[in-house]
Each structure stands twice: as C-alpha cells, then as structure tokens.
Structure 1
C-alpha cells in the first residue's frame, strides 16, 4: 500500500483533490464516466471544496456515499447534509450525479438492497472506480465498527449496523464492495491517528480498517498522523 506523507491536513485535502481530478479525466476519457464513493469528515469536505474548483466533466461523475447515519433529512449529523453544505453554490450542485443513501426509508433493509442495485447499474460491473475512506481512532472505517456484526457481512454490498454507534445506527458499504474497488484512497490527518495508521499499514486484522484490501490502496497522511514513520 502506497503511503504519501504531507505536511498538513490542508495539503492532504489539496493533493487528494488533484489525485481524484486526474482519475476523473482518465476514466471519462477511457470509458465515458467515473464512479466515486466518499466518506465524511473535515478533511474530505475540504477536498471536495478544492475539487469543485476544477473544470471537469461533472455530468459524467457519479457520486455515492460510503456510509450514512440513520437520521432525518437535513440533520447536521448526516454526511449528505455536510456534502450539500460544502458544494452549495458550486458547479457540482447542478452537474454532479449524487446518489444519497435512503436512510429515511420505511424499510431500511430494502433501502440497502436498492442502493447496492444502483451501484451495480451505474458501474455496470459492481466495481466503483474509487472509494475514499477515513480511519477512526478506534480502527473503524466506513461504518464498519469494532464488534459490530456488519463487519461479518459477506453476501451483501450494503448493510446496516446492528447496534448504534455514537448514538446512531448506520448504513454502510461492506467489505465485499469496498474490496472490489479499482482504487481505494485513505485520508488520515491528526496525531490521534498515529497508532491506527501503523495498524492499518500492518493490515492488522484486529481493527476493521485492517481488513480492507491493500492491493489497490493509497494513503495520504499528514505529518502528525505519520509522526512515527518520519525519520
């Protein structure tokens, strides 16, 4: 797994945006579209702000969510709410094809199946071009949380957590779908990620993040997160 250590969280966001912009150009030129799933977080939203300034064929980009809290529409805890706030007033708001997780559905299990079907239909082969992931200080990624049965799901691409995490049940992409992605991009910032970054690099199976495929993965980390790796 390739690791790029950058000076600051802002530089992580900037370099990640440029990396994604290049992938969009490459994939649109090659096959006519690009599929991306993003997680939430301060650095990813900064990445999206920078990316929104790029002159790209946004109408050919299909954006999915990695995970979402089961919460009412417009709730500030929801990743979708933060995404819309981030892209408000940019060309992405009207040109980007966004597929929200339907977490306000009456039947959430059916909503998971529906979301998986959307991904299959848009990608045409069930493989997202890029999945962006973050890493929690407890080793979770997406909403694949330590000790939750969702981590053992092997027959579905989208599933629900079995227990609330930080007060909310979640809908999440699962390992089968994540590990099929053409590329996986990790963004890690902050000194509190230092230990978990080392475990991730060691593919530590004791944390959910360590079970994500490393073959097609790239990490952008800031110096505080990677302080133990800097000589």
Structure 2
C-alpha cells in the first residue's frame, strides 16, 4: 500500500493522473495495450480533468467502468455512462469502450460484461471509496466471495443519501434501488489499484479503512490486501486518520 496526501484535491488528482500515466505506459510497453477501469462521482472530478491531458497512447487503451444504475436513462444527469462520455470519452480516443448499460435486461447485460472483462487482466483500476466505505456499489456488508466479475446489487440508504448530497438526485426516493456493479473479487484481480479520495465527506470512511481489520462492513478495508494499491488523499479526506491513533 502506498499512501499519498496532498494539500488540495486538485494536487491529489494531478499526482494520481501522473501515476496512472506511468502505469498505463508500462502496460502498453509490456503488452502492446492496456486495460483500465474508471470510477465516477464527484470525487473523481479533479483526477479526470488532469487524466484527459496526459500524454498516453489512448488508441491502445481499453476502458471499462465500475457500475451503473438499473433502468436509469443515459440522459439522466446521474447516469455514469453520461458522466464518462462528458468528462472522459469526448476528450480521448480510446481503442475500445465497454460501458455498463443499466437500461438493458440485467442478466443479459451481466453475461456480456462478464464475457468482455474476462478476456484479459485489468492493468489499472481507479477505485473510489464511498462515504459508507463502499467500493463500486458494493455497499456494506459487502460480498467478498462472489467470483463473477459483475453482479446486481441493492443500494443501501447511506449510499443513496450520498448521491442526493452530491446533487445527482433531488431526493432519496429518486435514487434507483438497484445497480449493476463490478464485484469485489474482480476489483482485486486488477494488477494496480489507484484510489483518488478527496474531500472532508470521505474522512470518516478513510479513517475506518485504516482503523479496521478487513471487514465486509467496511468494504474499502479489503483494498489493504492488494499488493499494488495506491491511495491519493487531500488534507481534508486525511484529516481523521491520526485521530484513531
């Protein structure tokens, strides 16, 4: 585990983008291509603003993402497909994109996603951490045992409340009840995991990630078991780390 703490969210995002550039470049040099997984949400704004400016051979990069709400139209402001098209895909010309289609029949979509991601290992996975310490939409108590790469999950109330606070939905009742998410086991198969987690709202989740043993009730704790995990914080998200000592 490598912990990187910077003064601002912007600096944290920049340094994470530079690290990802290096990791992706190494994968392309070794394999001729690279596979990446991207996170979404407000915590990734600064990272993506810098990531799209990196001098990367994007035409050798294949992109997946972590999750999508079931039955939410792509036109909705909270759609993760919309998010990625507006903040990433319109700026870089990647080799191939595999977006999670929450409007498709869920079981058919799971079969498609599981088949696609199983074709080769993921080189770099951007894995955010939610306010309830979720990773992707693996809310507590998270499933640490499912082998399939993607699954359908029920969203818990804390997760839904975060989506409202961040402005994606007007009320908790507007948040979809289910989503398709990458599973914990699939996340851990990534060769490198990079977590960009700025802002004070994430401070308790970060503190719990460090304080607790690996525990499904604090899903992000499982990231500590990965041999190549890099965590990027700002001073606000890191503010409660030392309060546990």
Work out whether the TM-score is over 0.5. Answer: yes
Question: Could you say which residue in structure 2 is the equivalent of 1:108?
Answer: 106
Q: Quote the Cα distance in structure 1 between the aligned partners of 2:33 and 2:186.
A: 19
Provide structure 2 residue ranges, at least 5 long, that are not aligned to the other structure: 161-174
Deviation >6 Å, runs of 4+: none
Q: 1:36 to 1:79 in 2, by over 3 A?
A: same
Question: Could you say which residue in structure 2 is the equivalent of 1:22?
Answer: 22
Q: 1:185 to 1:88 in 2, by over 3 A?
A: closer
Q: 1:174 to 1:65 in 2, by over 3 A?
A: same
Q: Does the aligned pair in 2 maintain the 1:10–1:43 contact within 8 Å?
A: no
Question: Could you say which residue in structure 1 is the equivalent of 2:234?
Answer: 222
The residue matched to 1:171 in structure 2 has which SS?
strand
TM-score by length of 2: 0.83
Q: 1:208 to 1:29 in 2, by over 3 A?
A: same
Instruction: Encode CA deviations 1:30-80: one digit per residue, 9 max, x unaligned.
Output: 110111111112342332222222232111101101111121122211111
User: Following superposition of structure 1 onto structure 2, how do residues 1-231 of structure 1 map, counting pairs within 5 Å?
Assistant: 1-70=1-70, 71-87=72-88, 90=91, 92=92, 94-105=93-104, 107-121=105-119, 123=120, 127-147=121-141, 151=143, 154-163=146-155, 166=160, 167-168=175-176, 169-202=178-211, 203-205=213-215, 206-212=217-223, 213-229=225-241
Provide structure 1 residue ranges, at least 5 long, that are not aligned to the other structure: none
C-alpha RMSD of the superposition = 2.1
TM-score by length of 1: 0.87
